[in-house]
């Protein structure tokens, strides 16, 4: 089963068309999922294979529970899913934050908890620092605090997954390289199914404009680490113990700058905690919201 977005089909495994919308802005189209009712939650997609990875894929396993009590608005990152194509020459997380704000403004959401994983978490940090009045609570993890990354103390740089991603990105027709990258991205090899790999390859071919726009773009580094102490809203950090993209030492570093943040390390979990450990991730979200 597929959901149609413009001229490109998205297999259901990547995008749930029942809840998907596209917001047209002067800068770019922004794809977002809107599911459930109640107080709003903003969820921002994780980094992964471009352009087929979506917020629907990253958070699909936690939305069924969260949507019982909350209006869950999950936003696709620039040049992923239904967001883009957009070429940029600035910190990429600034572009992402504008996309999130555009959706919030469009839906009349003045303030809400922001939940992010990986690149979506760094976007949440950017948003909370630039517009603290819009973010009532922040759940982040599997991320650097800064665009361009933060120094590692122990783990080699670049990370294993980032090297495998570069190999797969240089040969977009090679499904084997994509499969290899996914095996490193997640802890459980059973998550890397033929259906998922085929779906990601299908979208790569159908939406090559998103892939090409990203390759033409330049993300300008910008450090947020020293500014983290300015955050005053409740903060939780959730990170996979076996993350081979962003090592869990980054969660400890971020927590050291945010004195009031809770830090959780999830065992047997790689780079996408909401996808790999949905029950534990959902519990962390509900625990954070209980602090409001």
Provide mean pLDDT across the span 117-123: 98
Q: Residue 266 forms beta bridges with which residues?
A: 240
Half-sphere exposure of 111 (CA within 13 A, CB side): 9
Q: Residue 264 forms beta bridges with which residues?
A: 238
Residue-level pLDDT at 218 = 97
Contact 23, 83 (CB under 8 A): no
Residue-level pLDDT at 8 = 54
pLDDT over 60 (residue 122)? yes
Residue-level pLDDT at 239 = 98
Residue-level pLDDT at 157 = 85
pLDDT band per the 50, 70, 90 thresholds, residue 289: very high
Q: Using the 8-state DSSP alphabet, how is residue 222 labeled? A: B
Percent of the chain with pLDDT over 70: 97
pLDDT band per the 50, 70, 90 thresholds, residue 156: confident
pLDDT over 60 (residue 198)? yes
19-31 confidence digits (pLDDT tens): 999 999 999 999 9
pLDDT over 90 (residue 189)? yes
188: tokens are 């459980």
Q: Which residues contact 136 (CB under 8 A, 6 or more apart)?
A: 111, 112, 113, 233, 292
What are the CA-CA distances from residue 95 to residues 83, 101, 153 (Å)? 11, 10, 29
Provide mean pLDDT across the span 166-185: 96
201-219 confidence digits (pLDDT tens): 999 999 999 999 999 999 9
Mean pLDDT of the chain: 95
pLDDT over 80 (residue 147)? yes
Q: What is the pTM of this model?
A: 0.96
pLDDT over 90 (residue 179)? yes
pLDDT band per the 50, 70, 90 thresholds, residue 37: very high
**Which domains are delineated in the chain?**
2-289 (3.40.50.1820)
Nearest to 110 by CA among 132, 86, 139: 132
Residue-level pLDDT at 10 = 87
73: tokens are 């608005």
257: tokens are 């700058």
Three-state secondary structure call for residue 32? strand
Neighbour-count burial for 167-201, b at 16+ CB within 10 Å, e otherwise: ebbeebeebebbbebbbbbbbeeeebeeebbebbb
């Amino acid at each position: 089963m597929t959901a149609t977005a413009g001229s490109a089909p998205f297999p259901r495994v990547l995008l749930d068309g029942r809840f998907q919308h596209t917001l047209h802005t002067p800068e770019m189209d922004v794809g977002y999922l809107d599911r459930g009712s109640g107080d709003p939650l903003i969820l921002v997609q994780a980094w992964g294979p471009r352009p087929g990875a979506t917020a629907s894929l990253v958070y699909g396993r936690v939305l069924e529970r969260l949507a019982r009590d909350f209006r869950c608005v999950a936003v696709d990152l620039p040049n992923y899913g239904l967001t883009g194509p957009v070429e940029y020459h600035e910190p990429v997380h600034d572009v992402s934050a504008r996309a999130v704000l555009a959706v919030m403004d469009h839906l009349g959401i003045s303030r809400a908890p922001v939940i992010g994983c990986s690149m979506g978490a760094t976007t949440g940090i950017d948003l909370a620092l630039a517009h603290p009045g819009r973010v009532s609570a922040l759940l982040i993890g599997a991320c650097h605090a800064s665009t361009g990354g933060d120094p590692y103390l122990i783990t080699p740089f670049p990370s294993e997954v980032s090297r495998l991603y570069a190999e797969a990105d240089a040969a977009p027709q090679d499904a084997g390289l994509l499969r290899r990258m996914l095996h490193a991205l997640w802890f459980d090899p059973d998550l890397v199914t033929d259906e998922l790999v085929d779906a990601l390859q299908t979208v790569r071919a159908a939406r090559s404009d998103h892939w090409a726009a990203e390759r033409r773009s330049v993300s300008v580094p910008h450090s947020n680490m020293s500014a983290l102490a300015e955050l005053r809203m409740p903060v939780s950090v959730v990170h996979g113990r076996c993350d081979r993209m962003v090592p869990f030492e980054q969660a400890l570093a971020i927590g050291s700058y945010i004195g009031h943040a809770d830090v959780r390390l999830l065992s047997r979990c790689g780079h996408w905690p909401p996808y790999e450990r949905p029950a534990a991730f959902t519990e962390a979200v509900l625990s954070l919201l209980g602090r409001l």
